[in-house]
Amino acid sequence: MEWVVSAGRFNCLLYAEGSIQVAMRRFSITTIAVLLTAVVYALPANSNFGVGPQYDTTHVYVRPEDFDSCVASLLATFGGTATKEGVFTVTPTPSQTMSQLVLTPAGTLSVFGFKTPVPYPFGVERTGYLVTDLEAAVRAARADGADLLVTPFNDPIGKDAVIQWPGGVNMQLYWHTTPPSYPPLKTIPENRVYVSADRATAFVESFLTFSQGKNVSDDAHAPGIEIGRASDTYRRIRISSVFGATAVLVTDGHLPYPYGHETTGYEVANLAGTLAKAKAAGVSVLAGPNTADKRDSAIVQFPGGYIAEIHSASAGK
């Protein structure tokens, strides 16, 4: 956002030279200074720090021995490419992890295979959100109700921090020294957030303010089959922002396995065809397919234990 200050013209009738002119000059300087100060304080507390959903990565933690098979199964299921595998320190304290970025048309994933014990609180942050200014984004997130779990630290290619939203939702914010360039996504992945009724409002308000997103829908009687309880209903809130799609699933915590373990939902063109490719790559179907809200969906588990939801449009149902 750019702010422009325009100084108007003052036509003054001067009756004397000297001290009156000096006074007027001082008055003009003071006036401009006041205007500039007012502009600074008029700036919004938040700016939109997001870059785009293709830069919002799901964090996948697997054992080193499952690393290659997990990456291969993700590519076989969704298509796309992967960066070169390497071993890095991506935490502020000593550690080593295999790391590879998987770029698929349905979403981006950061796969980690730690060769050392995983330092706390890493391993439970669900996503990494690329931001344009890490320090400013952290300040905004805290002002919007997030806790700062891990203060900003340097990694091999930039900086990171870990925050926690109301309801216990952990996310990583990251910034690259050299801005990355990833291809646009064909479909936007869905960040699936399970929260209690006690904290749902606080989470939604905080995240909407930070992301400058919009509440797309709020269904107090969404079909319970979406969370494995076909005879019940529950509350589902959908949010859209520059960070992508977010589904807030408000439940009583009485969730049959594997619901609640999936952190991301991936949209594909054809669920049946995608599941066939997934199974051939060693992926297990844990739940579904089910149909609800004009969507066919299933929950799957990739080699190494990563659990995800996959869905496609089911028009007219």
pLDDT value for 316: 52
Residue 122 pLDDT exceeds 70: yes
pTM for this model (two decimals): 0.84
What pLDDT score does 47 carry? 60
Contact 203, 146 (CB under 8 A): no
Q: Is 90 exceeded by the pLDDT of residue 265?
A: yes
Closest CA to 245 of 220, 287, 211: 211
Burial class (CB in 10 A: 0-12, 13-18, 19+), 74: buried
Tokens of 207: 């995240």
Long-range contacts of 186-189 (CB under 8 A, 24+ apart): 186/105, 186/106, 187/105, 187/106, 187/107, 187/266, 187/267, 187/268, 188/53, 188/107, 188/244, 188/245, 188/267, 189/53, 189/56, 189/58, 189/106, 189/107, 189/244, 189/245, 189/264, 189/265, 189/266, 189/267
- pLDDT computed for residue 48 by the predictor: 80
Query: For residue 16, what pLDDT is reported?
Result: 39
- Residue 3 pLDDT > 60, yes or no? no
Q: Residue 294: what pLDDT?
A: 93
Place of tokens 């950061």: 110
CA-to-CA distance for 274 and 86, rounded, in angstroms? 29
Q: How far apart are CA 176 and CA 91, in angstroms?
A: 15
User: Which is nearest to 145 in space by CA: 168, 172, 165?
Assistant: 165
**Band (201; pLDDT cuts 50, 70, 90):** very high
Q: Which pLDDT value is given to residue 273?
A: 97
